[in-house]
Structure 1
Amino acid sequence: MAGIKALVGLSFSGAIGLTFLLLGCALEEYGVYWPLFVLIFYILSPIPTFISRRVSDDDSSSNACRELAYFVTTGIVVSSFGLPIVLARHNTIKWGACGLVMTGNAVIFLTILGFFVVFGGGDDFSWEQW
């Protein structure tokens, strides 16, 4: 039952994050859909961690494959926060839209982190469920 509550909570927070992203694009005063390119980063960010957990066999705290996955994931997350700033500095989007997209980024990435914390730590969990 706790897994269902966690899944519902994570999906609710993901919906809140996507709402912030869409508000940054679709409000009448902003009206530019360039910030939707951060969806690519949302899709790419968990992939290195999934691969490293699948490939590495030992559960030690330091593993070269896992460290590389953390490095690549960090690059993807920083890029997703950098894209709206670059678009706002170039006057492609307004700064208000940049703030909404950055808020959506924070909520979405905390949701992804919450998924890994809730569903990735137990021994009874298997990746074949997903």
Structure 2
Amino acid sequence: MRASSIVALSVCLAAGFLLSILSCALYGNWWPLLVVFTYALAPAPNAIFGQYVSSDPLADVSSSVADFGRFLTAVLVVSGFGLPVVLAHAGIIAPTAMAMSIVGGILVYGTIIAYSALFRERTDF
């Protein structure tokens, strides 16, 4: 099951990056490529600040550092979807390039979420 999951996730990730790059190349405007940087940076705050989360599920303590990491991740994800919309509204990119960039973002972010959900270590008591 793991090998087929990895293959499916890699195909989805490649399709997402392909759509993002094609949204730039087909219309001769490379501004949508800025969205690819948000794809790469979005998991970083959770990876960096995730170590400050309490491992005890019954603890009612929330770390402000971990919350700040979640906030930065949310800012990057929202800007990954909002930037193509703003660029299309301003007339900098074509609306079809915006759609391709957003669909590519959905594929990339969906792959990241599916990967973390599929390969999360389960601890049994």
Per the normalisation by structure 2, the TM-score is 0.84
Root-mean-square deviation (Å):
2.1
Asked if the contact 2:12/2:108 (under 8 Å) is kept, the reply is: yes
Alignment match, 1:128: none
Listed as ranges, the gaps of 5+ residues in structure 1 are: 124-130
Find the partner of 2:41 among 41, 44, 52.
Answer: 44
Q: Which consecutive unaligned segments of at least 5 residues does structure 2 have? A: none
Distance apart, 1:57 and its partner CA: 4.2
Query: 2:16: which partner in 1?
Result: 17
CA contact (8 A) 2:50 2:69 kept: no
Local SS of the residue matching 1:120: coil
The corresponding residue for 1:126 is: none
Partner Cα separation in structure 2 for residue 59 and residue 77 of structure 1: 28
In the TM superposition, residue 39 of structure 1 has moved relative to its aligned partner by 1.4
Identity of aligned residues (%): 32
Q: CA deviation at 1:74?
A: 1.2
